[in-house]
């Protein structure tokens, strides 16, 4: 992009003239935003003019600025496990410091068009530290169990090339070690250290292989389960800091298309997947394809920052992990904006992976007299045995097309452009709830406790009888009364499997040992047929907000 260029240059716009309106709209947006000056950092937020852009550097600073304006916000962290640019060792510990005001965050996005942020997995992470000169050194850990770090795969790619070039095994091992070290040196941009590497070469490295619709390069340390199991012990406060939040789902869609999870169709319209229209355009964006050689390249962080561009991110592999998005369910007393807002403030919310599944989760004996119900999102002090009730109803099976009344308000041509001729169009039939799973989390009582031992997933499983009217499940937990720690419970209602976009992510081929040896990524560019929705069966689900139990004796 030429100096002082705002938005896309004319040569790109006119070379892809069929999308002229998209480019023009984006350029208009960039020009409008660029024309607004930054606000004075020393002026209180409530005193600033409307004609400047204000920035908050930390969550706590954001809260302070909103408080100064007299607002009562709901701030919702989202995409917390998305590994597109988040370092692999990131955790919640910094966010749990008192100065970050963790108590002010009432909701968290557990599922979106960028995938499922729920699950914690204990995996060994590569060690990495920064030297005084700005370089990084570290150690890439080998694969463990069901997880292979991308730094390890980098070494394997170099080893395979080296052996094919006729080098001896000892030399190839040295080059593999060097390849892993070079990858660690630039972290998330490690793929740039392997000349001529293709998306398929990475196989399923750095991915959660047993998670439901996982996020790309999933960062387990910032998963929702990790947030509930981790406590902040870094302050001198009497009690450790913790998050107490409800769950919501969202589309997280940058194309102004909310709630697109009602049908698995038109992947390129209803997900974030996109890419080059042909090889020529791919080379214009990413540069000419390098020749694969049997040796990795060392890149310093300073050198990397001198040439910041889209190549630093794994844009192409990421497309296999986009979904049509989730939904936020709210148990409100009415349908007004204020009533919905109040329910969100109470954390009386649940999330779904897209379909309109219905879910209730209550603490039956949570009141002062022991028999008054407390809904999902509640925080209750009690010492006895908690008793819970879950009720879930599957979403409606969808009919093709859209209801006739749509055409009374908008033309067929406009409907086709907006939603591809499809919309939410329920029949009278519901999908069945296959099972209900209960997750129990007991927050850390000391900073050295392994949080994987504090997460019981699942704690209980109720297999449903296939009744289309739904599934109800009552349970109790005597261990809570016998123990000495607080506990958190939430319900996960799982619907019968249906075809779902990107449910198989990288579409692995496995050998006899169950190891992925070849992938067929669902690209957003010309390499995957635009009519291919990359469908595979998935069990869609809903997550209740947790119920938080605090003991009276601890």
Output the 3-class SS for 140-195: CCCCECCECCHHHHHHHHHHHHHHHCCCCHHHHHHHHHHHHHHHHHHHHHHHHHCC
The answer to whether residue 200 is domain-embedded is yes
Give the model confidence (pLDDT) of 109-127 as tens digits.
999 999 999 999 998 877 7
The answer to whether residue 135 is domain-embedded is yes
The answer to whether residue 360 is domain-embedded is no
Q: What is the DSSP letter of 241?
A: B
Q: What integer is the mean pLDDT of 471-495?
A: 95
Say if residue 1's pLDDT is above 60. no
Structural domain of 183: 126-207+274-321
Q: What integer is the mean pLDDT of 48-72?
A: 92
Q: What integer is the mean pLDDT of 440-449?
A: 94
The answer to whether residue 245 is domain-embedded is no
Say if residue 341's pLDDT is above 90. yes
For strands 535-538 and 498-501, give the pairing: antiparallel
User: DSSP secondary structure string, 349-414?
Assistant: EEEESSS--EEEEEETT-STTS---EETT-EEE--S--EEEEEEEPPEEEPSS--GGGGGTS-HHH
The confidence band for 368, taking pLDDT boundaries of 50, 70 and 90, is: low
Pull the structure tokens for residue 156: 């394997």
**Least confident segment among 42-46, 126-130, 332-336, 422-426:** 126-130
Say if residue 518's pLDDT is above 90. yes
State how far the Cα of 324 lies from the Cα of 353, in Å rounded to an integer: 9
State how far the Cα of 551 lies from the Cα of 554, in Å rounded to an integer: 6
The answer to whether residue 179 is domain-embedded is yes
The confidence band for 2, taking pLDDT boundaries of 50, 70 and 90, is: very low
Query: How many structural domains does the chain have?
Result: 1
Q: What integer is the mean pLDDT of 523-531?
A: 95
The fraction of the chain above a pLDDT of 70, given in percent, is 96
pLDDT of residue 40: 93
- What integer best gives the mean pLDDT of the chain? 91
**Least confident segment among 79-88, 232-241, 387-396:** 232-241
**Least confident segment among 67-76, 291-300, 306-315, 542-551:** 306-315
State how far the Cα of 554 lies from the Cα of 552, in Å rounded to an integer: 6
The fraction of the chain above a pLDDT of 90, given in percent, is 70
Measuring CA to CA, which residue among 176, 174, 172, 169 is closest to residue 193?
Answer: 176
Cis preceding linkage at 289, omega within 30: no
Measuring CA to CA, which residue among 360, 554, 544, 365 is closest to residue 439?
Answer: 544
pLDDT of residue 312: 86
Give the model confidence (pLDDT) of 227-276 as tens digits.
999 999 876 667 899 999 999 999 988 877 788 899 999 999 999 998 88
Say if residue 396's pLDDT is above 50. yes
Say if residue 93's pLDDT is above 80. yes
pLDDT of residue 483: 86
Single pTM value for the model: 0.93
The confidence band for 502, taking pLDDT boundaries of 50, 70 and 90, is: very high
Q: What integer is the mean pLDDT of 384-408?
A: 93
pLDDT of residue 459: 98
pLDDT of residue 554: 46
The answer to whether residue 399 is domain-embedded is no
**Least confident segment among 134-148, 184-198, 328-342, 481-495:** 134-148
Highest-scoring range by mean pLDDT, 51-55, 70-74, 94-98, 457-461: 457-461
The answer to whether residue 139 is domain-embedded is yes
State how far the Cα of 150 lies from the Cα of 319, in Å rounded to an integer: 17
State how far the Cα of 282 lies from the Cα of 288, in Å rounded to an integer: 8
State how far the Cα of 508 lies from the Cα of 478, in Å rounded to an integer: 43
The answer to whether residue 282 is domain-embedded is yes
């Amino acid at each position: 992009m030429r100096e002082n260029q705002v938005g896309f240059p004319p040569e790109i716009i006119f070379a892809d003239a069929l999308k002229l309106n998209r480019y023009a709209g984006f350029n208009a947006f960039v020009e409008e935003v660029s024309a607004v000056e930054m606000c004075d950092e020393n002026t209180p937020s409530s005193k600033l003019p409307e004609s400047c852009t204000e920035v908050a550097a930390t969550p706590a600073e954001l809260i302070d600025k909103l408080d100064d304006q007299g607002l009562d916000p709901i701030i919702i962290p989202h995409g917390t496990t998305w590994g597109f640019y988040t370092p692999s060792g990131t955790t919640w510990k910094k966010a749990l410091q008192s100065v970050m005001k963790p108590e002010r965050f009432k909701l968290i996005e557990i599922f979106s068009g960028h995938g499922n942020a729920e699950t914690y997995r204990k995996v060994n992470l590569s060690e990495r530290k920064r030297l005084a000169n700005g370089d990084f050194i570290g150690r890439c850990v080998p694969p463990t169990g069901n997880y292979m770090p991308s730094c390890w795969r980098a070494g394997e790619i170099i080893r395979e090339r080296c052996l094919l070039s006729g080098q001896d095994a000892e030399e190839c091992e040295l080059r593999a070690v060097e390849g892993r070290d070079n990858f660690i040196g630039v972290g998330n941009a490690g793929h740039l250290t392997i000349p001529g590497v293709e998306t398929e070469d990475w196989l399923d490295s750095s991915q959660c292989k047993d998670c439901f619709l996982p996020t790309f390069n999933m960062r387990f340390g910032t998963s929702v389960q990790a947030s509930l199991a981790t406590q902040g012990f870094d302050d001198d406060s009497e009690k450790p800091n913790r998050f107490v939040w409800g769950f919501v789902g969202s589309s997280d869609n940058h194309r102004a298309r909310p709630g697109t999870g009602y049908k698995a169709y038109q992947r390129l319209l209803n997900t974030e997947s996109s890419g080059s229209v042909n090889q020529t355009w791919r080379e214009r964006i990413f540069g000419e394809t390098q020749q694969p050689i049997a040796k990795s390249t060392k890149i310093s962080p300073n050198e990397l920052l001198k040439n910041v561009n889209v190549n630093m991110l794994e844009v192409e592999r990421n497309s296999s992990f986009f979904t049509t998005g989730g939904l936020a369910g709210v148990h409100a007393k009415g349908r007004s904006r204020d009533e919905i807002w109040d329910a969100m403030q109470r954390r009386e919310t649940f999330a779904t992976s897209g379909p309109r599944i219905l879910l209730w989760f209550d603490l039956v004996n949570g009141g002062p007299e022991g028999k008054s119900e407390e809904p999902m999102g509640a925080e209750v002090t009690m010492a006895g045995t908690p008793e819970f009730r879950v009720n879930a109803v599957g979403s409606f099976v969808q009919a093709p097309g859209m209801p006739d009344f749509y055409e009374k308000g908008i033309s067929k041509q406009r409907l086709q452009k907006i939603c591809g001729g499809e919309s939410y169009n329920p029949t009278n039939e519901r999908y069945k709830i296959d099972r209900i799973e209960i997750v129990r989390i007991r927050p850390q009582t000391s900073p050295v406790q392994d949080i994987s031992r504090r997460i019981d997933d699942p704690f209980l499983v109720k297999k449903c009888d296939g009744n289309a009217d739904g599934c109800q499940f009552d349970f109790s937990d005597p261990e809570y009364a016998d123990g000495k720690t607080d506990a958190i419970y939430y319900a996960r209602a799982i619907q019968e499997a249906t075809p779902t976009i990107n449910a198989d992510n990288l579409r692995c081929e496995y050998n006899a040992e169950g190891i992925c040896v070849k992938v067929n990524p669902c690209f957003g560019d010309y390499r995957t047929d635009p009519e291919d929705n990359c469908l595979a069966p998935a069990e869609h689900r809903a997550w209740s907000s947790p119920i938080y139990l605090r003991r009276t004796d601890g």
